Amino acid sequence: MTADTITIPGVLPVQILAALGITQSRLEILRILLSQRETTTAELIGETGLSMNGVRQHLQALVGCGLVEGRRATHPRGAGPITYWRAAADHIEDQMDQLCRYLLA
């Protein structure tokens, strides 16, 4: 089940997710990460228009619930460490199934 398959007349999936406290920014970050192999914080800032602190806070929340993973590496230009972010796609479906089971229990 995806947000696009929820059908409640007159209610958009984004409205349902917002009512559950899921922000549009977190959804956008997750969508970006699902559509790309790996992405840096700087790339997420550029694509979302959020501040560095905003992106970091959203990533921290997404990592905390197992939806996103980070891989630390040496920066390609040798300017210190860099984190490459990716969606934990194999865990997302499991997390959504657990949420549905919890809501329907």
pLDDT recorded at residue 78: 78
Q: How far apart are CA 37 and CA 41, in angstroms?
A: 14
SS3 assignment, position 82? strand
What pTM did the predictor assign?
Answer: 0.77
Q: What are phi and psi of 83, to 5 degrees?
A: -110, 130
Q: In the chain, pLDDT over 90 holds for what percent of residues?
A: 49
| pLDDT tens for each residue of 66-79 | 899 999 998 777 77
Q: How far apart are CA 87 and CA 63, in angstroms?
A: 9
SS3 assignment, position 65? coil
pLDDT recorded at residue 8: 65
Has domain 3-104 been given CATH number 1.10.10.10?
Answer: yes
